[in-house]
Amino acid sequence: MKILFSPSETKSALTTHGLLKKESLVFPYLYEKRYQVLKQYQALLETYDTTLLQNLFGIKDTQKNLVQASKNIFDSFTCKAILRYSGIAYDHLSFATLDKNAQTYIENHVMIFSNLFGPLLAGDLIPEYKLKQGESLNGFKTEIFYKEYFSDAIDAWIGDETILDLRAGYYEKFYTLKQPFITMKFLKNDKVVSHFAKAYRGQVLREMAIHRPSNEKDLGKISFEGLRIREIKEQKLKREYIFDIID
């Protein structure tokens, strides 16, 4: 089973491995394409243009922006992507508390879509960075670039496995699924939750790691804490599991 996931705006400062190199990332044969994006990003940081940096990072504080811009991604130590991201979903996943088998499942079966790095396996090694969701690199749209050059590689990685798409809507721009897939929606008092959906996605991912399903039948056997399935809707390629959040 393959799982598609979103990154987070917040990042940890953890460093456990060496500098970024093509072997650090999935699809190393496409590293030169990825390097084009990273090089553009780094060049923008080195302008130290305060307005540009404010747009890139989504931070108003000039001093914080200058500190962030001083971090060269090519000269920074790395850690696994699944540990680099530290937002709500990742808090609820709590990767570090999983056993080794569950961690290995996550590292090999979860693809995270980064604004800057594009498609990453959870176990890929990346440096700390900052790029506001949806922000272009001075007009260069990374989502269009990665969709054009990496879609075939992602297709091959997925193969004929069952797909669970837990991405937030924005990250669908990086890759369009072309085969049947499963998604999830979370309701509270009959209303769709948005911000707190991140927490439940993280919780679902944790249970996936613990139970390590290989197909939809296995997925259906998992009882997700605090969630009760209401219905399953089908629309073209999508099978949407709709859950009620229960107290």
pLDDT digits (tens, 9 = 90+) for 27-77: 999 999 999 999 999 999 999 999 999 999 999 999 999 999 999 999 999
pLDDT for 194 equals 79
Domain count, the chain: 1
pLDDT for 191 equals 92
- Edge-to-edge strand ranges of the sheet holding 125-127: 17-19, 77-80, 125-127
pLDDT at 187 over 80: yes
Residue 59 maps to a domain: no
pLDDT for 195 equals 76
pLDDT for 239 equals 97
Q: Is 26 helix (H, G, I), strand (E, B) or coil?
A: coil
Residue 37 maps to a domain: no
CB 40 within 8 A of CB 121: no
Cα→Cα distances 84→10, 88, 170, 171, 198, Å: 9, 13, 20, 18, 16
Residue 71 maps to a domain: no
Residue 65 maps to a domain: no
Residue 76 maps to a domain: no
Residue 117 maps to a domain: yes
Residue 173 maps to a domain: yes
Tokens of 167: 């991405």
pLDDT for 15 equals 97
Residue 42 maps to a domain: no
∠ Cα 116 117 123 (to 5°): 135
pLDDT, averaged across the chain:
96
pLDDT for 150 equals 98
pLDDT for 33 equals 98
Domain span at residue 229 reads 2-10+81-127+138-245
- pLDDT of 151-177, one tens digit each? 999 999 999 999 999 999 999 999 999
Q: What is the pTM of this model?
A: 0.96
